A = this chain, B = another copy of it.
Amino acid sequence: MLIVHHLGVSQSDKVVWLCEELGLDYELKFYARDSVTRLAPAEYKALHPAGTAPTIQDGDVTLAESAAVFEYILGKYGAGRLTVAPDAPNYADYLYWFHYAAGTVQPAMLVEIIIAMLGVDRAQVAALTARGDTAWASLEERLGKVPYLAGEQFTAADMMNFFTLTTGRLFVPKDLSSFPNIRAYIQRVLDTTKARAALSKADPGLEIPFA
C-alpha cells in the first residue's frame, strides 16, 4: 500500500491532500517536528537521502521531492484526474502553474526567510526581493481572470501552490490584504475541494492562516 510519511506542517501536507482528493487507499504515518528546534526527527531524515518532506513509499520505491511525488502518484494512480493532457488548449497553463510553486514562489519565500534570519534591511536588498513581489502580483492577476490556475477546472497546479498561500505563511508571514483575488481563491478552494479535510488530517488542531 502507498505510505505517506507525513511531517507535520511541511510540504507533505500537499501529498496528504492529493491522496484524499484522489480517494486513494493509503497509510498516513505521522511524524512530529522537534518541539524546540522545529526540525524533522532523525527517523524522518533516515527515510530518504534527501531527508526532506514529503517522502512516500510504494512497494520498493521510496521517493522524495514534492513535484516528483505528485507526478509519481498522478502518473501511477491518477488515471488522468487533476491533470491536463497535452492536446488540451490549457496544457501550457497547467504546466506553468504546476511548476510555479517550486520554480518561482518558493525560491522567493526562501529569500525572505534568509533576509529575516540574517536581520538584513529589506529596503537595502530590494533587487533580491523584486522577483518575489512579481510572483505574488502574477498570481493575483491570474486569479482575476480564471477561477483556478490552469483555467476553469481545479487541478494539481492549484494543489502545488495552495501550500505556499496557506501553510507556507507560517514560515514567512505575508499580508494578503492587497490581494483580493488570492483571498477569494483560497476560499474557493476550501469550499470546492477536500483541502480542509486533508489539512485537518495532516495538521490536526493547527491554525493555518487562510485568507
Contacts and interface: CB of A to CB of B under 8 A. Distances in A.
Nearest to A49: B138
B63 A103 contact: no
A81 to B, nearest CB: 14
A209 interface: no
Interface string A57-72: 0100101111110011
Taken together, the copies of this chain in the complex come to 2
Interface in A27-64: 49-52, 58, 61, 63-64
Interface residues of A, number: 40
Nearest to A97: B68
A86 B65 CA distance: 17
B104 A67 contact: no
Q: Is the interface of A mostly helix, strand, loop or mixed?
A: helix
B120 A92 contact: no
A193 interface: no
A117 B67 CA distance: 29
Interface in A108-128: 110-111, 114, 117-118, 120, 125, 128
Interface of A: 49-52, 58, 61, 63-68, 71-72, 75-76, 86, 91-92, 95-96, 98-100, 102-104, 106-107, 110-111, 114, 117-118, 120, 125, 128, 134, 138, 141
Given A50-B104, A65-B96, A110-B110, 12 more contacts: A63-B95, A64-B96, A65-B100, A66-B103, A67-B95, A68-B103, A72-B95, A110-B111, A114-B114, A114-B128, A117-B128, A118-B120
